[in-house]
Amino acid sequence: MARHGRIYKDNLEKEKRYGIFLETLRFIEDFDNKAANQSYKVGLNQFSDLTTEEFVPRYTGFRATSRSSNSSAATTFKYSTTQVPDSLNWVEKGVVGSIKNQGGCGSCWAFAATATVESILAMMTGKLVDLSEQQLIDCSKLNYGCKWGWMYLAYEYIAQNHGMTYESNYPYSGVEGTCGERAASIAVARLKGYE
């Protein structure tokens, strides 16, 4: 509780959360017993005292849509004749950023779009930088800030407006605010379009 700053309103709530925590711990122990066949790890974190039913609406905001690009018709994959390796690890190549926490803001759409642009920029320049999710939350007005949003609308904002600025210029607050036009205008990454 202390590690993750958990404070409960009363002992009844504390007991309920402890029960959920114990269920999570049992899940982790069961998973670890089968871990030899898994490609990922699980562990305790700040969400271990939440049920799935509590976690999903609080910490996820993505809404799937049939519109996935700015092209009006489906196109064939333009690299269909390219030879590709059997496996490729972009993390090892240094073009995937660190894990980030959106907190209680339903801004996964902004984090996903930002991570994509960061990776593309790293592939082009050889330098991985942190770009501002908060800029998209505040300034991509066709999205719904901390409620939910679509990545394609984030890409349209980036392409049609200012591009993206560094995280250090426009830090993450985890709440929707007024667009900081001045900070947002210091663009370090731009998109011409997306597919």
| Strand partners of residue 131 | 166
Q: With bands split at pLDDT 50, 70 and 90, how would you rate the model's confidence at 90?
A: very high
Q: Is the pLDDT of residue 33 over 90?
A: no
How large is the C-alpha radius of gyration of the chain?
20
Mean pLDDT of the chain: 85
* 61-195: CATH number: 3.90.70.10
Cβ within 8 Å of residue 129, ≥6 positions away: 118, 121, 122, 166, 188, 189
Q: With bands split at pLDDT 50, 70 and 90, how would you rate the model's confidence at 57?
A: confident
Delimit the domains of the chain by residue range.
11-59, 61-195
In Å, what is the CA distance from 186 to each residue of 29, 56, 103, 189? 47, 34, 26, 9
Answer with the residue of higher pLDDT: 20 or 79.
20
CA geometry: angle at 65 spanning 63 and 69, to 5°?
120
- pLDDT number for residue 177: 93
Q: Is the pLDDT of residue 132 over 60?
A: yes
Q: Is the pLDDT of residue 30 over 90?
A: no
